[in-house]
Amino acid sequence: MSPPSQPHNRDAHQAGSTPAASDSCAASGEPGTSQRSARAWLLRVATLVLVAGLIVSALAKATLIGPLFGDVDLELEGGVQTLLVGASHAACAFNPEVLSGDALGQVVSVARQAELMLSTDAKLEALLDDNPGVRRVILAVSPIHMATWQDEHLFGRSPHSRAQIMDYYPLYGEHTRALLPLSNPDVLLAALKYDFGVPFNYTDDTGLYVRHLLGQMQPQHYRFWGGYTPPGGTHVAQRWADFVIKKYFYEDGEVGGVSELAIQSLERLAQRVHERGIQLVLVDTPAHERFRVAIPERHKLAYAALLKDLVERFPTIRIVNHADMALPDEWFYDPDHLNRGGGEAYSAILLETLTELLAEES
């Protein structure tokens, strides 16, 4: 009897087919294995980068960002008695050297071009906390501060958005930070940097870090500081007035709205100063006639109503209205700001006005 053939054939079939099947499986498995290896490698690299980033952020937060921006020290030397605050109007019209003297004591300007009322309030709070000897705050105000262009710096992507948020974020308290929209990438970058230590370098932070490490950091080195910075030149032709009015008061060819945020910020500033027993002087600085007559009625009314309300709520507030003061054209930089020569001359006029005002109250 011949041996059974089925087992033999099955073994032979298996023997013959196994290499081919193995080769096929190996061939079909190589791409999958390679892809899995690549993914695993990328995952390891990403993990290492993440861990390294967390370590760097923690170190930056602990050694640089935290000490430098976490508790901003704005203590001034020399017994400062009067602070000049505000945006470009104050930065162009208030010369602290001219204003310093017997009437106002030592005067320091922290006004900064394009500063929002929201940021002025935050900066002033920090300054008053660190300088209890301050007795008077002089703030430049104008109907232009009622316009919604201020809101665009926080809620839109204006040219000044990043400077406003990144520079002032360390001064903003919880209430102010809650107003900032994370939909604005600049807000997110500021939160990552100042809250979590991500070393996002903006406008030469390196110089600030070096000063800090060398023990040479002073309040005036912070970018939000400001000062007396009037420009030179004169640009008061009608086209310049039209340009400024259209830029700040109009939206899509129509009169723009009124900024509730700016109004609330000024109200909060006045409340803060009043509670500390400090005198607040609101100065409406000179503006060219071409600018004054073109301000929309909506903003004029909102401005007048706000000032009236502030005086009624805080009787110690003093208002100096020099907006209609007739000045030579050559004193103006543009229809809404004084230039270097105008700032020098006007500061002397303002000092005389304030000296008389204080004498009447004493």
Four-residue CA torsion sign, 294, 298, 304, 310: negative
Q: Give the chain's count of helices (H) and strands (E).
A: 14, 9
Amino acid 321: pLDDT: 97
Reading the block at residue 7, the tokens are: 């087992």
Residue 284 has phi, psi (to 5 degrees) of: -90, 100
**Roughly how many angstroms between the first and final C-alpha of the chain, as a whole number?**
137
What are the beta bridge partners of residue 338?
A: 332
Distance between CA 234 and CA 329 in Å, rounded? 7
What residues are paired with 302 via a beta bridge? none
Rounded CA-CA distance 166/186 in Å is: 7
Q: Which of 3.40.50.800, 3.40.50.1110, 3.40.50.1820, 3.10.200.10 is the CATH number of 71-361?
A: 3.40.50.1110
Confidence at residue 207, expressed as pLDDT on a 0 to 100 scale: 85
CB 303 within 8 A of CB 250: no
317 Cβ neighbours under 8 A, 6+ residues apart: 270, 274, 279, 280, 281, 282, 310, 311
CA dihedral for 183, 299, 250, 340, sign (positive or negative): negative
- Name the nearest CA neighbour of 317 among 359, 356, 351, 267: 267
Residue type, 57: S
Query: Of the candidates 248, 240, 241, which has an alpha carbon nearest to the alpha carbon of residue 149?
Result: 248
Mean pLDDT, contiguous 10-residue spans, the chain (362 residues) = 44 44 46 73 73 64 75 88 97 98 96 94 96 97 91 73 86 90 85 82 74 89 94 95 94 93 96 97 97 96 97 96 96 97 98 93 76
**Quick one: tokens of 227?**
């000062």
Q: Which H helix or E strand runs over 210?
A: helix 205-213
Per-residue pLDDT at 336: 95
CA angle 51, 53, 57 (to 5 degrees): 120
pTM for the full predicted model: 0.84
Q: In 3D, which of 74, 32, 173, 84 has the Cα closest to residue 351?
A: 84
Residue among 175, 68, 70 at smallest CA distance from 118: 175
* Side-by-side strand order, sheet with 318-321: 107-109, 82-85, 136-141, 279-284, 318-321
Tokens standing for 238? 């009608």
